[in-house]
Chain A
Amino acid sequence: MKILVAVKRVIDYNVQIRVKEDGSGVHTDNVKMSTNPPDDNAVEESVKLKESGKIKEIVAISIGEDKAQESIRKALAVGADKGIHVKSDSYIEPLGIAKILKKIVEKEKPDMVFLGKQAIDDDCNQTGQMLAAMLNWPQATFSSKLNIKEKSLEVVREIDEGLETLEINLPAIVTCDLRLNEPRFASLPNIMKAKKKPMEQLNAKDIGVDLSNRIEQLKVEEPPKRKAGIKVASVAELVSKLKNEAKVI
């Protein structure tokens, strides 16, 4: 069996976001970038399945500017076999990303596509589900536990009420939650070896799908700031403030 795993390069989760003064977006120059955290879980799960012998091949794909290759190299360094970089210097909405992925799926014919459940930059939470609809495949979103059977997947999903278990036929789309596993770090020798692994390079414009964006970003602004609060000296003072000043208890 074969897995296609999609990774996105985003502003690192620890970076304090700064909104541009002209309202056109957020600062990305000289800002630390890394792989979208749940995408790391998607890669890790693929590698674990390969180690267990249930999967033969892992193909890692990223769509974006040249530096997106860093996220692919990182996946190759922990165990993916081949990379595909689809170059695009402009922003593509999840709808367009799903269309590109669909074309790649038709060519690569994986049994499963793993993705992070959500990218921490645009917070859209759409791509996996959209790809599933386009391929007419079943989906398991927000997955925290996976068990591969012969022709199906048993998946535990994190939902608002608790946990849900599904069995979905292969081929299938899985979007990964942060608790699915603990992503490993690549060792230096493996990072060196990853440089020799194959990386196919394509251009988004040549894929042959409609990538026009449908959503115009009119402005980006800072959220209203909370006014600074106070430190209280004791629990008694805290309770008194909550009761008499904030009047919430």
Chain B
Amino acid sequence: MSVLLIAEHDNSKLKPFTFNAITAASKIDSDVHVLVAGTSCESVSKETANIPLVKKVLVCDSPNYQNYLPENLAPLVIKVSEKYDHIVASANTFGKNFMPRVAAALDVSQVSDIIKVNGPDTFVRPIYAGNAFATVKSNDKKKCVTIRPTSFDAAEKSGGSAPIEKVEAVDIPSTSKFIKREETKSERPELGTARIVVSGGRGLESGDNFKLINDIADKLNAAVGASRAAVDAGYISNDHQVGQTGKVVVPDLYIAVGISGAIQHLAGMKESKIIVAINKDGEAPIFSVADYGLEADLFTALPEFLAELNKLNTIQK
């Protein structure tokens, strides 16, 4: 039976994690159908149809879905889901927001944030901030599943030609109103998908000192992350937070600077391929997960680090 995946997009193109979610969906069943709900989102449905793993695109183009309000989106997903056994979305703030509404309305117990598909009804998901992995079997007839995007490879983008089918919009409640979205614009790669992440913690001592982190990030073409402590202290905005309740990142290289390594932070980065820790406290827990630890004062180490990087002839981008 087919899988229905709910695409995340900005009405002009797909968000990167949708490609990872498509890979996860295809491991549940190869007949992956993707619902694109949006406003003037024709380019998104075309982009989706090009993905070889996608077998059918359902597009619902209506002003109702411009801002992805869960109160509006959930009734549409429920209507479309009638013919499907699985409803899948990314376990990010998009999927987390609407999927439980769908599950509750269908009287289904949702399986959140899976990192592995063992079979159509059996999944692995982290619990306790990733300190344990639970293998779970859903006994609901219909299954609502959110997937951790960084645990699955991104699907191929081109070569497919799935048919595009139109879906009628459904009535929406008028109980919630979108006011505005303030997105942090950055020239740097997106934190969730960057190959290298440079993160700062409370050890940075101020927002101004994040310049030291930014300089390294620019040199390495890396994204900038932060611990919850740094975000709480107001050094940097919330969308940079890495951890249990922030973003989960799995870059090739994660550089943690002035971050002690609380359980909640490790939950968001310990699957990274190579971890570097720079901290003046040699006993900091971050060193227990680091491949390379440097016990040093970050205020001298970071300028030196930048100088060393500048000496290199080539840097991988």
Contact = CB atoms under 8 A, between A and B. Distances in A.
A32 B16 CA distance: 40
Contacts of A178: 228, 232, 245
A221 interface: yes
A123 B232 contact: no
Given A123-B244, A231-B293, A235-B301, A160 B177 contact: no
- Sorting the interface of chain A by its residue count into under 10, 10 to 19, 20 to 34 or 35 or more gives 35 or more
Interface in A5-54: 11, 13-14, 16-17, 19, 26, 38
A165 B287 CA distance: 39
B253 interface: yes
Interface in A196-241: 213-223, 226, 228-232, 234-236, 238-239, 241
Contacts of A219: 134-135
Contacts of B107: 95
A117 B184 CA distance: 22
Contacts of B237: 162-163
B136 interface: yes
A241 B274 CA distance: 11
B309 A239 contact: yes
A218 B128 contact: no
Interface stretch (B32-40, B46-54, B93-101, B159-167): B93-101
Interface stretch (B18-26, B57-65, B109-117, B200-208): B109-117
A100 B175 CA distance: 24
Interface size class of B (residues with CB under 8 A): 35 or more
Contacts of B287: 229, 231
A192 interface: no
B196 interface: yes
Contact of B304 (A163, A235, A241): A235
Interface string B283-308: 00001111111111000010011001
Contacts of B79: none
Contacts of B244: 120, 123
A163 B308 CA distance: 37
A12 B129 CA distance: 12
A97 to B, nearest CB: 11
A154 to B, nearest CB: 7
A139 interface: yes
A242 interface: yes
Interface of A: 11, 13-14, 16-17, 19, 26, 38, 93-95, 98, 117-118, 120-134, 136-139, 141-142, 144, 154, 157-169, 172, 177-179, 213-223, 226, 228-232, 234-236, 238-239, 241-243, 246, 248-249
